[in-house]
């Protein structure tokens, strides 16, 4: 029988810096007001149409592509911590500027630039966690970081929804303040970790050994990693509707209270993550990362697809619970999979390339569905998304079979080599 102590066991004995990163993410996400409300800000405050809102959200995602590539290059050269400090600081400054502006198209561009600056830090953050851990405790470290973000996110959107109704400027300034406090924790208590990439690793971590050559040469040796990222692209396309179609559906179903209900669902999402991440982590500890990704895809297909079939308020919470469990299992498997298949010398750049591929799904999601909503209802669109996710889940099953077959071939080759 599991106890709370057993569920928390994987999180014990991690490097001190991992706990600091956890606290930093809690603080940052408590004030993460802008991104969950971006669709409402564009439509309700600035007055953009559904199609134009999808366009600008897509534009923000596309700008994130070069930002992520730049962040990966800087993480491997300039340093993990320095990259985080510089670009998080830039994002904070831009949110302060946004908090002193009136709603306009100019405000949209400032928001996009702030998001791009924060995106630049992503490869450095993931690389830092990988630097500080080994395959044995890496799942727990990424799980804890993810849980930290959602611990604050259980509170942030609810507060953001309330601030949104009183004063839009408070949304931006509150986000900037929490991000500044989080950045201070990294500045004072987390050391630069890039030097650890020089450490030698054993044969059991052969995929993490330093390599010479370009990022393209490294990725060409790892087709499994590229295929994995392309399938996760499909998952991200569906998940992006969490912040695009769902708030629109809430405003349509519950006039006058849509923003508040959406904030409550977002807070519920964070609460489920807090309560169930340790449980899911424990249940998944004997599963491969790809098997976890298959299960996550199934839960996404059901959770998002059913929003087009049964969408009264109680059922919205049911489906939110379903796709949140899928979100958890994907969150605790994707980053460790990438880290375990990436040479330490290229962690920043590989993280950037994988994030670029998967992030493109999140980018094209609002853009594509924004156009589709001009012809189809939200309900039909959810059903189509559910079917699309089933297809990508099937592809992940094929990839799982390929991984098992490749592992058996490699094991056989090793036995023949040992016999000789």
* Tokens read off for 48: 């953009």
Alpha-carbon distance of 315 to 302, in angstroms, equals: 12
Bin 13: left if φ > 0, else alpha if -120 < ψ < 50, else beta. left
CA 76 from centroid of its chain's CA atoms: 21
Alpha-carbon distance of 197 to 346, in angstroms, equals: 9
- Residues 251-258: contacts with CB under 8 Å, at least 24 apart: 251/40, 252/378, 253/311, 253/313, 254/313
Angle at CA of residue 366, ends 96 and 359, nearest 5°:
75
| Residue 184: predicted pLDDT | 97
Alpha-carbon distance of 305 to 159, in angstroms, equals: 28
SS3 137: helix
Q: What is the pLDDT along the chain (420 residues), one digit of tens a residue?
A: 567 777 788 888 999 999 999 999 999 988 888 887 888 899 889 998 888 888 888 788 788 889 999 999 999 989 999 999 999 999 999 999 999 999 999 999 999 999 999 999 999 999 999 999 988 889 899 999 988 887 887 777 778 888 887 888 999 999 999 999 999 999 999 999 998 877 776 676 777 888 888 888 888 888 889 999 999 999 999 999 988 899 888 888 888 888 788 888 887 887 888 889 999 988 888 888 999 999 999 999 999 999 999 988 899 999 999 999 999 999 999 999 999 889 988 999 999 999 889 988 887 888 888 888 888 899 999 999 999 999 999 999 999 988 888 766 554 544 444 444
Q: Which domains does the chain have, with CATH numbers?
A: 14-194+214-419 (1.20.1250.20)
For the chain, how many residues are written? 420
Alpha-carbon distance of 147 to 177, in angstroms, equals: 21
Alpha-carbon distance of 15 to 142, in angstroms, equals: 12
| Residue 407: predicted pLDDT | 62
């Amino acid at each position: 029988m599991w106890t709370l102590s057993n569920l928390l066991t994987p999180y014990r004995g991690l490097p001190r810096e991992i706990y600091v990163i956890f606290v930093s993410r809690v603080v940052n996400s408590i004030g993460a007001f802008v991104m969950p409300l971006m669709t409402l800000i564009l439509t309700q405050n600035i007055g953009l149409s559904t199609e134009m809102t999808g366009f600008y959200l897509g534009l923000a995602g596309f700008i994130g592509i070069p930002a992520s590539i730049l962040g990966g290059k800087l993480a491997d050269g300039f340093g993990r911590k320095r990259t985080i400090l510089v670009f998080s600081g830039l994002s904070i400054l831009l949110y302060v500027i946004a908090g002193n502006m009136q709603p306009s198209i100019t405000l949209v561009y400032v928001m996009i630039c702030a998001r791009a600056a924060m995106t630049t830090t992503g490869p450095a953050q993931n690389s830092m966690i990988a630097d500080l851990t080994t395959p044995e405790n890496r799942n727990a470290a990424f799980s804890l970081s993810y849980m930290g973000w959602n611990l604050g996110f259980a509170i942030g959107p609810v507060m953001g929804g309330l601030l949104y109704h009183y004063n839009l400027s408070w949304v931006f300034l509150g986000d900037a303040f929490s991000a500044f406090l989080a950045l201070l924790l990294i500045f004072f208590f987390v050391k630069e970790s890039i030097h650890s990439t020089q450490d030698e690793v054993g044969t059991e971590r052969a995929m993490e050994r330093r390599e010479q050559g370009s990022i393209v040469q490294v990725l060409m040796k790892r087709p499994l990693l590229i295929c994995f990222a392309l399938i996760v692209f499909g998952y991200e396309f569906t998940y992006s509707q969490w912040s695009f179609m769902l708030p629109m559906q809430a405003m349509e179903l519950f006039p006058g209270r849509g923003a508040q209900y959406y904030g409550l669902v977002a807070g519920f999402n964070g609460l489920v993550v807090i309560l169930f991440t340790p449980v899911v982590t424990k249940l998944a500890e004997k599963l491969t990362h790809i098997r976890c990704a298959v299960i996550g895809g199934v839960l996404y297909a059901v959770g998002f697809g059913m929003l087009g079939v049964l969408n009264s308020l109680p059922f919205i919470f049911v489906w939110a619970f379903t796709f949140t469990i899928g979100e958890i299992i994907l969150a605790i498997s994707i980053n460790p999979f990438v880290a375990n298949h990436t040479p330490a010398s290229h962690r920043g750049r590989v993280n950037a390339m994988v994030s670029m591929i998967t992030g493109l799904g999140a980018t094209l999601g609002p853009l594509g569905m924004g156009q589709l909503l001009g012809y189809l209802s939200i309900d039909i669109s959810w059903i189509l998304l559910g079917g699309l996710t089933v297809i990508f889940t099937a592809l992940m099953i094929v990839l799982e079979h390929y991984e098992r077959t490749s592992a058996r071939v490699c094991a056989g080759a090793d036995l023949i080599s040992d016999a000789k």
